[in-house]
Amino acid sequence: MSIKVLVVDDSAFMRQTIKKILQEDPEIEVVGVAVDGEDALKKVEFYNPQVITLDLRMPRMDGLAFLTKLMKTSPLPVVLVSSWAREGTEETLRALELGAVDFVTKPSSEPSEEIWQIGDELRDKIKAAAQVRVEQIRVLPEKKIATVLPTLEKSYLKVLAMGASTGGPRAFHYILTHLSADFPLGILIAQHMPREFMEIFAARLNGLSQLRVKVAEEGDMIYPGTVLVAPGGLQTRLVKKKEPDGSESVRVHLVREKKLYQPSIDEMFFSVAEIYGDQAIGVLLTGMGADGALGLQRLREKGALTIAESPETCVIYGMPKVAVELGAVDYLLPLTEIPDRICVLISGQKFPP
């Protein structure tokens, strides 16, 4: 049975071109098109699509307003088709936080034949989105900041390393906004995302959370309460360095090494495992594929505490599932429980796996 798709775009050229691109695949059927958010809400009810492609900038009701209403009334997997422009990047990240499952960037901000360049990527992401269960993409509940217990200052733990792919921006938003400003560990995160998005992704998290968030640079040190985001197009590793005063520090070392993922969650986890061993917590969140699973296994072998997001909240239960199958996971938890569990583990309390 083919995947039923609704295409939402205010450009007649883009609507028809995206329709043609998708229907090159016999497994995909475009059941309808919509000119803006208001039109799309009516078409969703009429056509009952499985996946929606969504432009963000439209008259009457734009993509963000449409997403907000859709996720409250009848959530469906949404793949964004957005521009590289800075404004488009910020809107794309906001849409991912609202529940869109993935995005494809237009080669040009104006309607053009260049849109055919994203054909394979768009079709693949439509197929992945069709596997998402709708109950997993509802807006996450609000909750209080996770509290770290008083014994925290004596904790032997030094670093929290987290990785995600599809659905990651929303997951990182949730976790980081539920950690307090006095969080005692340094934090590293790796998110599968084009490098052009990383600066704005980090800036957005920095503005929303109580922690300091920035894109990692060569030589950065690991500081409590500071989040370093692995840059796109590079691999983020850690190295020990002798300082002028004779002390030893841990610093970021960026490597231009081509792998399937840039950044690779596995590469970051492997490095954290070698440098920090049992002084680390590793967290593997939602995403398609297997990146991060072997790295989480290495962390656990080195004595680190490991957490994976459970299927109840994963947009795609791919990477965590592989980690569980490898025996790499101490705690399998829904996203809504992960911030509290991190803080309680730091305090020294233990839970049964």
Cis peptide before 26 (omega within 30 of 0): no
Active site residue 10: no
The active-site residue, picked from 178, 291, 330, 347, is 291
C-alpha dihedral (148, 153, 155, 161), degrees to nearest 10: 60
The active-site residue, picked from 165, 209, 264, 271, is 165
The active-site residue, picked from 9, 192, 271, 310, is 192
Would strands 248-255 and 102-105 be described as parallel, antiparallel, or unpaired? unpaired
Active site residue 178: no
Handedness of CA 322, 323, 326, 329 (dihedral sign): negative
CA distance 339 to 82: 31
- The residue type at 237: R
Q: What is the token pair recorded at 168?
A: 């990651």
Q: Are 159 and 185 in contact (CB under 8 A)?
A: yes
167: exposed, middle or buried (Cβ count in 10 Å: 0-12, 13-18, 19+): buried
Residue 207: C-alpha distances to residues 202, 210, 211, 214, 299 (Å): 9, 8, 9, 11, 30
Active site residue 192: yes
CA distance 188 to 294: 17
CA distance 224 to 115: 44
CA distance 175 to 340: 9
CA distance 100 to 97: 7
Task: Mention every residue, 6+ apart, whose C-beta is less than 8 A from residue 253.
Answer: 218, 236, 237, 238, 239
3-state secondary structure 232-247: CCCEEEEEEEECCCCC
| Residues recognised as catalytic | 165, 192, 291
